[in-house]
């Protein structure tokens, strides 16, 4: 009888699978992803390497000595213990993060704008007591500009009514409001000493959300040539909530990581973070194979550093608030080994 | 020649006045406000007592031993040193405040709604560590619901265009949303262990803002018989931005403290906080006579505790960020001794 | 169980698993333990009320429940009972 | 109270006319205002009666220190009077709730979460 390996499902549940089953899942995962994102499947040698990583009962695994990458953290700390500055200190000194990010608990640029004077003061203090690169992050979060939270008509209500033109106009209006807010926060934070700005979960509300981020990045780059600008995506595929929006002549709806990266680099980012979602009904072997297949073309063509999103529910990490370390370390190692990533 | 006494103007600047000049300012302050608020001027005894307090060169003054009142503190702490729970502990243990208040930097219920899980967690930790009553506070802040911050047409833009009906409809719509948000936040805070809810600077946007505070207060009282509900006003006079709004059949626009208090009592409030603004061009003696004259009718009918607003720029305390203790302590003593108030 | 009862690891794991109604393997599985701890009120990671809800016990509240579930005295819980119950000890 | 720097605002008011929080019985009187909507005089009389002292003792730190220790109502945990055996923080609120005969929300929630019987219908 074939040995049983303890491994996990995408929802974090511990299951037992045989090495043959794991190998089959890896093959099915890369095939599904290649078909869906129209990219090449992983090679046989790559699948062999993934099999080695996943067909093990070891509680922990890691990359080879010398292959370590840079780890950036969006939103450092839970803000429950001590102060936000303490959070940054713990991340720097205990977790040994390579870069740090201060954030307002209401993690969007719109609410952050309302408290900027206070955020600047905290940033100034934090800069005095930390050594690692320290930035400020939030989400573009286009939805906040719609009724009932904001002034713009709600396209999620207009679309089901077939009011397409109005829904598109609303999204275009929200793009400008969001870009203004992001640029405002970046300007104020540069004054307070940040080393980079992070636009996290970009594209969460679709193509207009991504466009707001790109437009903001372009303006920030023009004003601050040396500022680090990091973008992290919300999902693997830009949803066509508007459908016709373009940046630099490229239609945004339907873009996969390779083209997302090209536009982000064009707009002026210094770090691009693709996000590939986890399927909770499949094993983590399946999910990792899928993630790597989708991210690979982007990593091969990258002109800027790529930090793959490896948080809960993305990058092959289980969709569970307490992601099991055995699963996270496998996803981490697999991505670094196969993709030659710049960071996570 | 009559000796000159060091005293303060409403903007905090130190000036010298003779006892006769201070006496004249007290008389003018009470006469002017009695006329404006259509109430009785202060009696000669009361004016004599105020003259004793104000015509003194002492750096500090205080009530008699045994006459102390309760200190509630809206927006406890500066948030710049340590964390928010430390702020509450410091105010409880170092400053001797009787009721401390947890708050977030964007001090309005709408902003808190999106961040309520984090606020609840902080309240729970604060309740574990504090002995004092800990309430949660923010402003109703009706303006937040109008464009460009919120979804509703901006009545301040409609009114100059003489679109009165539209402006009124917009305020009513905003009022309903605000009541819902106050309830949402309060429900969560009560679940987290809050001793009370503070609606601070109520009426800032006029009668609709006040109506929202009263309506939410009544709903909370029905749900939570034990809950402390404090309503602190934005100013002495409810502005008729709508003009026709009523609570229990009474028109809110144009209400002075006595009627404001009747409404708060009817709505089930635990503590009412009148606010009388400072005239920076007049002396603190003039200002205290005015504030006491305006609040006095409320004190005569009060059935619930009254905590007079005595922060920067209200209640006889100069409009300056470093309120001089000579002026603060005189205002403190004057209200307690003349009006027999219940707290600050 | 190691601290209070001096149990060796295997014995301690078996005891705790028995009290919680789970397998020994589950004890080191965060995916399973999140639900178990929530259900029994044994506390957990806060993450601003997003993982552990404000309704879930935290800190010393959780330790009250841990003492009950594991059937061991927890010193600070016992002291809390004594200090908070000085008016009517029977209540606590 | 209101806006202003802590020394000029809260510091000045607490010295000029404040009851003194848990240094005295300010927090207890405040609870009667919040929970029972009592005015100052009535709230002071109620608390004094429950504590078996005079209303004037309520703002006298010397009198109140003894009473708070005796009844486990919480004291300031610094200076030479550090007493780990004394009730403090939420422990003290359990006792305050009993002594004043009022429900305290956080205490009731605590009891709920650890399965203790409540003395009040909240």
Instruction: Label each residue of B299-341 as H, E or C.
Output: HHHCCCCEECCCCCCECCCCCCCCCCHHHHHHHHHHHHHHHCC
CATH code, A304:
3.20.20
What residue in C sits closest to D120 (Cα-Cα)?
A: C91
Report how far apart the first and last C-alpha atoms of chain C are (Å, whole number).
24
The residue behind tokens 């509240």 is C61
**CB A133 within 8 Å of CB A228:** yes
Range of lowest pLDDT (A214-223, B174-183, C60-69, D39-48): C60-69
Band of residue C91 on the pLDDT scale cut at 50, 70, 90: very low
Nearest Cα to Cα of residue B236 among B213, B208, B259, B256: B256
Longest dimension (CA), chain B: 66
Shortest Cα–Cα distance, C87 to chain A (Å) = 33
**pLDDT computed for residue B78 by the predictor:** 81
**CB B100 within 8 Å of CB B84:** no
Q: Which two three-digit tokens encode residue A79?
A: 């803000």
Mean pLDDT of B31-40: 97
**CA atoms of B39 and B31, how far apart (whole Å):** 9
Task: Pick the more confident residue, A127 or D77.
Answer: A127
Candidates A75, A77, A78, A83: best to mutate against B (most CBs of B within 10 A) is A83
Residue D77 domain-assigned?
Answer: yes
Convert the pLDDT of each residue in B57-86 to its tens digit: 999 999 999 999 999 999 898 887 888 999
**CB A294 within 8 Å of CB A257:** yes
Phi and psi at residue A159, in whole multiples of 5°?
-60, -50
Torsion angle, CA of A171/A172/A178/A181, rounded to 10 degrees?
Answer: -150
Shortest Cα–Cα distance, D64 to chain B (Å) = 13
Q: What string of DSSP letters covers A77-120? A: S-SSSS-HHHHHHHHHHTS--SBEEE--SS-BHHHHHHTHHHHH
Q: Which of C56, C80, C87 sits opposite D98 (nearest CB)?
A: C87
Q: Which two three-digit tokens encode residue B18?
A: 């003779």
Task: Pick the more confident residue, B185 or D83.
Answer: B185
What residue in D sits closest to B12 (Cα-Cα)?
A: D8
**pLDDT computed for residue D84 by the predictor:** 67
What residue in B sits closest to A120 (Cα-Cα)?
A: B80
**CA atoms of A330 and A332, how far apart (whole Å):** 5
Q: Do D114 and C57 touch (CB under 8 A)?
A: yes
**pLDDT computed for residue A64 by the predictor:** 94
Convert the pLDDT of each residue in A179-207 to its tens digit: 999 999 999 999 988 999 999 999 999 99
Candidates D51, D92, D113: best to mutate against C (most CBs of C within 10 A) is D113
**pLDDT computed for residue D121 by the predictor:** 55
Residue A44 domain-assigned?
Answer: yes
Band of residue D83 on the pLDDT scale cut at 50, 70, 90: low
Q: Does the interface ipTM go beyond 0.90?
A: no
Shortest Cα–Cα distance, B67 to chain D (Å) = 7
Domain encompassing residue C84: 2-91
User: At residue C88, does pLDDT exceed 70?
Assistant: no
Shortest Cα–Cα distance, D20 to chain C (Å) = 23
**pLDDT computed for residue A232 by the predictor:** 97
User: At residue D94, does pLDDT exceed 50?
Assistant: yes
**pLDDT computed for residue D82 by the predictor:** 53
Say which CATH topology domain B4-339 has. Answer: TIM Barrel (3.20.20)
Question: Can you say how many angstroms the Cα of residue D58 is from the centroid of all Cα atoms in its chain?
Answer: 10
User: At residue A218, does pLDDT exceed 90?
Assistant: yes
Range of lowest pLDDT (A79-83, A335-339, C88-92, D113-117): C88-92
Candidates C44, C45, C48, C54: best to mutate against B (most CBs of B within 10 A) is C54
Question: Can you say how many angstroms the Cα of residue D49 is from the centroid of all Cα atoms in its chain?
Answer: 14
Phi and psi at residue B99, in whole multiples of 5°?
-125, 115
Q: Which of C25, C32, C34 sits opposite A321 (nearest CB)?
A: C34
Task: Pick the more confident residue, C50 or B42.
Answer: B42
What are the residues whose beta carbons fall under 8 Å from the beta carbon of A234, sequence distance 6 or more?
A: A201, A202, A203, A204, A209, A275
Residues 277-336 of B with CB under 8 A from C: none
Q: Do D105 and B227 touch (CB under 8 A)?
A: yes
What are the residues whose beta carbons fall under 8 Å from the beta carbon of D101, sequence distance 6 or more?
A: D50
Q: Which two three-digit tokens encode residue B40?
A: 């009785």
Convert the pLDDT of each residue in A19-37 to its tens digit: 999 999 999 999 999 999 9
* Contact between chain A and chain D (3 or more Cβ pairs less than 8 Å apart): no
Q: Hey, where are the domains in chain B?
A: 4-339
Mean pLDDT of D28-37: 96
Classify B79 as helix, strand or coil. Answer: coil
Shortest Cα–Cα distance, D97 to chain C (Å) = 10
Q: Do A118 and B105 touch (CB under 8 A)?
A: yes
Report how far apart the first and last C-alpha atoms of chain D are (Å, whole number).
29
Q: Do B117 and C50 touch (CB under 8 A)?
A: yes
User: At residue A268, does pLDDT exceed 50?
Assistant: yes
**pLDDT computed for residue D95 by the predictor:** 94
Q: Do C86 and D113 touch (CB under 8 A)?
A: no
**CA atoms of B138 and A67, how far apart (whole Å):** 51
Residues of D in contact with B78 (CB under 8 A): 6
Q: Do B106 and A114 touch (CB under 8 A)?
A: yes
Question: Can you say how many angstroms the Cα of residue B223 is from the centroid of all Cα atoms in its chain?
Answer: 24
Q: Do B228 and D15 touch (CB under 8 A)?
A: no
Mean pLDDT of A229-246: 96
Q: Which of B128, B309, B336 sits opposite D2 (nearest CB)?
A: B309
**CB D87 within 8 Å of CB D77:** no
**CA atoms of D99 and D110, how far apart (whole Å):** 18
What are the residues whose beta carbons fall under 8 Å from the beta carbon of C42, sequence distance 6 or more?
A: C36, C57, C62, C65, C66, C69
Q: Which two three-digit tokens encode residue B60?
A: 């500090």
Count of the separate structural domains present in chain C: 1
Whether the bond between B148 and the residue before it is cis, its omega within 30 degrees of 0, is yes
User: At residue A289, does pLDDT exceed 60?
Assistant: yes
The total of other beta-carbon atoms located within 10 Å of residue A82's CB is 15
Band of residue A165 on the pLDDT scale cut at 50, 70, 90: very high
Convert the pLDDT of each residue in B207-265 to its tens digit: 999 999 999 999 999 999 999 999 999 999 999 999 999 999 999 999 999 999 999 99
User: At residue D120, does pLDDT exceed 80?
Assistant: no
The residue behind tokens 């954030």 is A103
**CA atoms of B126 and D114, how far apart (whole Å):** 18
User: At residue A309, does pLDDT exceed 50?
Assistant: yes
Q: What string of DSSP letters covers D5-30? A: -TIIIIIHHHHHHB--GGGTTHHHHH
Tell me what the pLDDT averaged over chain B comes to. 95
Domain encompassing residue A121: 5-339
Task: Pick the more confident residue, B202 or C44.
Answer: B202
What's the pTM?
Answer: 0.84
**pLDDT computed for residue B168 by the predictor:** 97
Strand B100-102 to strand B134-138: parallel, antiparallel, or no bridges (unpaired)? parallel
Residue A344 domain-assigned?
Answer: no
Judged by a CB distance cut-off of 8 A, whether residue C43 touches chain D is no
Q: Which residues pair with A325 in a beta bridge?
A: none
Shortest Cα–Cα distance, C44 to chain B (Å) = 13
Residue D4 domain-assigned?
Answer: no
Candidates C31, C42, C48: best to mutate against A (most CBs of A within 10 A) is C31
Q: Which helix (DSSP H) or strand (DSSP E) does residue A321 occupy?
A: none
**pLDDT computed for residue C58 by the predictor:** 87
Residues of C in contact with B128 (CB under 8 A): 59-60
Band of residue C86 on the pLDDT scale cut at 50, 70, 90: low
Q: Do C55 and B191 touch (CB under 8 A)?
A: yes
Share of chain B above pLDDT 90, in %: 92
Q: Do B115 and A111 touch (CB under 8 A)?
A: yes
Identify the chains in contact with A, defined as 3+ C-beta pairs within 8 A: B, C
Share of chain C above pLDDT 70, in %: 90
- Write the burial class of residue B295 (CB in 10 Å: 0-12 exposed, 13-18 middle, 19+ buried): buried
Convert the pLDDT of each residue in B289-303 to its tens digit: 999 999 999 999 999
User: At residue C87, does pLDDT exceed 50?
Assistant: no
Write down the number of H helices and E strands in chain C: 5, 0
**CB A103 within 8 Å of CB A76:** yes
Q: Do B96 and D78 touch (CB under 8 A)?
A: no
**CB A300 within 8 Å of CB A65:** no
Nearest Cα to Cα of residue D41 among B298, B341, B63, B258: B341
Task: Pick the more confident residue, D3 or B93.
Answer: B93
Mean pLDDT of A287-295: 98
What residue in A sits closest to B122 (Cα-Cα)?
A: A80
Domain encompassing residue D73: 19-114
Residues of B in contact with A83 (CB under 8 A): 82-83
Candidates A90, A113, A149, A152: best to mutate against B (most CBs of B within 10 A) is A149
Q: Do C48 and B192 touch (CB under 8 A)?
A: no
**pLDDT computed for residue B163 by the predictor:** 96
**CB C48 within 8 Å of CB A84:** no
Q: Which residues pair with B229 in a beta bridge?
A: B197
Count of the separate structural domains present in chain D: 1
Convert the pLDDT of each residue in C43-81 to its tens digit: 888 776 677 788 889 888 999 999 999 999 888 888 888
Shortest Cα–Cα distance, B142 to chain A (Å) = 13
Q: Do C65 and D114 touch (CB under 8 A)?
A: yes
Q: Which two three-digit tokens encode residue B289?
A: 């006579």
Residues of B in contact with C58 (CB under 8 A): 124-125
Judged by a CB distance cut-off of 8 A, whether residue C60 touches chain B is yes
Residues of B in contact with C46 (CB under 8 A): 121
- Write the burial class of residue C40 (CB in 10 Å: 0-12 exposed, 13-18 middle, 19+ buried): middle
């Amino acid at each position: 009888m074939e040995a049983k390996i303890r491994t996990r499902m995408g929802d974090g549940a511990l299951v037992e699978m045989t090495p043959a089953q794991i190998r089959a899942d890896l093959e099915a995962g890369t095939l599904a992803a290649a078909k869906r994102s129209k990219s090449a499947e992983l090679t046989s040698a790559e699948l062999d390497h993934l099999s080695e990583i996943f067909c093990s009962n070891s509680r922990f695994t890691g990359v080879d000595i010398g292959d370590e990458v840079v780890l950036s953290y969006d939103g450092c700390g839970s803000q429950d213990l001590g102060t936000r500055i303490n959070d940054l200190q713990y991340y720097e000194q205990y977790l040994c993060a390579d870069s740090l990010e201060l954030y307002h608990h209401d993690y969007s640029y719109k609410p952050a704008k309302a408290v900027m004077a206070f955020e600047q003061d905290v940033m100034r203090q934090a800069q005095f007591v930390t050594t690692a690169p320290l930035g400020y992050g939030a989400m573009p979060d286009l939805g906040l500009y719609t009724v009932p939270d904001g002034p713009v008509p709600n396209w999620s209500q207009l679309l089901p009514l077939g009011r397409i033109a109005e829904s598109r106009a609303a999204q275009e209006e929200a793009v400008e409001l969001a870009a203004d807010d992001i640029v405002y926060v970046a300007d104020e934070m540069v004054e307070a000493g940040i080393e980079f700005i992070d636009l996290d979960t970009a594209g969460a509300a679709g193509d207009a959300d991504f466009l707001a981020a790109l437009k903001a990045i372009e303006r920030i780059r023009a004003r601050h040539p040396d500022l680090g600008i990091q973008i992290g995506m919300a999902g693997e595929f830009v949803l066509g909530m508007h459908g016709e929006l373009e940046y630099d002549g490229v239609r945004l709806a339907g873009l996969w990581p390779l083209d997302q990266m090209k536009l982000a680099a064009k707009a002026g980012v210094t770090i691009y973070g693709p996000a590939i979602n986890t399927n909770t009904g499949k094993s983590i072997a399946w999910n990792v194979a899928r993630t790597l297949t989708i991210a690979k073309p982007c990593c091969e063509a990258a002109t800027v550093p790529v930090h793959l999103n490896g948080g809960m529910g993305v990058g092959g990490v289980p969709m569970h608030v307490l992601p099991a370390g055995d699963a996270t370390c496998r996803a981490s190692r697999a991505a670094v080994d196969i993709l030659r990533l710049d960071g996570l | 020649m009559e000796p000159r006494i060091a005293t303060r103007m409403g903007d905090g600047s130190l000036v010298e006045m003779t006892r006769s000049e201070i006496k004249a300012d007290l008389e003018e302050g009470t006469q002017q406000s009695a006329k404006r608020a259509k109430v009785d001027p202060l009696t000669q005894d009361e004016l004599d007592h105020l003259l004793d307090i104000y015509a003194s060169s002492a750096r500090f003054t205080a009530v008699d031993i045994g006459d102390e009142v309760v200190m509630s503190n809206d927006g406890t702490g500066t948030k710049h040193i340590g964390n928010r729970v430390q702020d509450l502990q410091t105010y409880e243990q170092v400053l001797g405040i009787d009721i401390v208040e947890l708050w977030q930097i964007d001090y309005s219920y709408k902003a808190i709604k999106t961040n309520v899980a984090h606020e609840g967690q902080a309240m729970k930790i604060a309740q574990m560590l504090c002995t004092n009553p800990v309430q949660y506070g923010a402003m109703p802040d009706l303006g937040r619901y109008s464009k460009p911050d919120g979804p509703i047409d901006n009545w301040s833009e409609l009114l100059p265009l003489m679109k009165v009906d539209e402006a009124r409809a917009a305020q009513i719509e905003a009022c309903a949303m605000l009541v819902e948000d106050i309830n949402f936040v309060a429900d969560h805070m009560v679940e987290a262990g809050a001793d009370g809810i503070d609606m601070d600077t109520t009426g800032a946007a006029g009668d609709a803002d006040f109506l929202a505070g009263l309506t939410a207060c009544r709903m909370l009282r029905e749900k939570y018989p034990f809950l402390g509900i404090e309503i602190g006003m934005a100013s002495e006079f409810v502005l008729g931005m709508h003009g026709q709004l009523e609570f229990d059949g009474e028109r809110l626009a144009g209400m002075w403290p006595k009627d404001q208090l009747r409404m708060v009592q009817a709505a089930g409030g635990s503590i009412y906080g009148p606010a009388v603004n400072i005239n920076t061009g007049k002396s603190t003696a003039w200002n205290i006579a005015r504030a006491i004259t305006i609040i006095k009718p409320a004190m005569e009918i009060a059935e619930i505790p009254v905590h007079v607003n005595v922060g920067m720029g209200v209640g006889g305390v100069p409009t300056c960020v470093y309120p001089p203790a000579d002026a603060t302590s005189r205002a403190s003593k004057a209200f307690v001794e003349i009006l027999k108030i219940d707290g600050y | 169980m190691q601290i209070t009862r001096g149990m060796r690891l295997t014995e301690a794991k078996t005891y705790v698993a028995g009290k919680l109604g789970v397998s020994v393997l589950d004890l080191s599985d965060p995916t399973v333990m999140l639900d178990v701890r929530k259900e029994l009120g044994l506390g957990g990671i806060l993450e601003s009320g997003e993982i552990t809800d404000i309704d879930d016990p935290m800190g010393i509240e959780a330790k009250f429940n841990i003492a009950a579930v594991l059937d061991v005295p927890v010193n600070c819980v016992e002291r809390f009972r004594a200090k908070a119950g000085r008016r009517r000890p029977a209540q606590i | 109270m209101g806006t202003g720097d802590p020394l000029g605002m809260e510091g000045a008011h607490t010295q000029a006319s404040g009851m003194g929080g848990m240094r005295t019985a300010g927090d207890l009187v405040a609870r009667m205002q919040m929970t029972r909507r009592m005015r100052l005089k009535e709230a002071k009389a109620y608390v004094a009666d429950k504590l078996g002292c005079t209303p004037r003792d309520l703002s006298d730190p010397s009198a109140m220190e003894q009473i708070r220790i005796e009844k486990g109502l919480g004291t300031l945990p610094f200076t030479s009077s550090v007493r780990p055996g004394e009730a403090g923080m939420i422990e003290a609120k359990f006792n305050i709730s009993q002594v004043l005969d009022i429900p305290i929300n956080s205490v009731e929630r605590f009891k709920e979460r650890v399965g203790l019987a409540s003395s009040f219908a909240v």
